[in-house]
């Protein structure tokens, strides 16, 4: 079942950029527009977005989380905070944490 789902969804989630593209689609972007936006922000090609080897290296360099628990690589809220900054989006849990820490919060 897992393999069928992976092939059907085709972006690979956190293994590639499916999570990033999906987040942009939640911001009312169409699929093609979301892919282009993410590729531009990551400074890579559209084809690279679905290449797990390229994206693993890029995600490690940008420190935005990888699928395996690698020591020294961002996880959880740390990765989400970096993603929010990279994609220039507001992520509620990141903003809530900033509020609790007394840091500046993005306006709605």
Measure the CA–CA gap between 38 and 99, rounded to whole angstroms. Answer: 27
What local confidence, expressed as pLDDT, does residue 39 receive? Answer: 96
Domain that holds residue 49: 2-101
Do 65 and 24 touch, CB atoms closer than 8 A?
no
Instruction: Answer yes or no: is 106 within a domain.
Output: no
| Residue 29 is assigned to a structural domain of this protein | yes
* Whole-prediction pTM: 0.81
Distances (CA, A) of 48 to 15, 22, 56: 12, 16, 11
Q: What is the domain count for the chain? A: 1
Q: What is the pLDDT of residues 7-62, one digit of tens each?
A: 445 566 677 888 899 999 989 999 999 999 999 999 999 999 989 899 999 999 99
């Amino acid at each position: 079942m897992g393999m069928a789902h992976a092939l059907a969804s085709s972006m690979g989630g956190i293994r590639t950029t499916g999570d990033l593209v999906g987040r942009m689609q939640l911001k009312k972007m169409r699929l093609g527009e979301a892919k282009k936006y993410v590729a531009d922000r990551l400074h890579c090609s559209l084809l690279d977005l679905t290449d797990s080897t390229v994206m693993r290296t890029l995600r490690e360099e940008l420190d935005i989380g990888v699928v395996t628990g690698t020591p020294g690589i961002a996880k959880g809220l740390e990765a989400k905070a970096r993603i929010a900054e990279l994609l220039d989006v507001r992520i509620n849990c990141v903003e809530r944490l900033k509020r609790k820490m007394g840091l500046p919060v993005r306006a709605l």
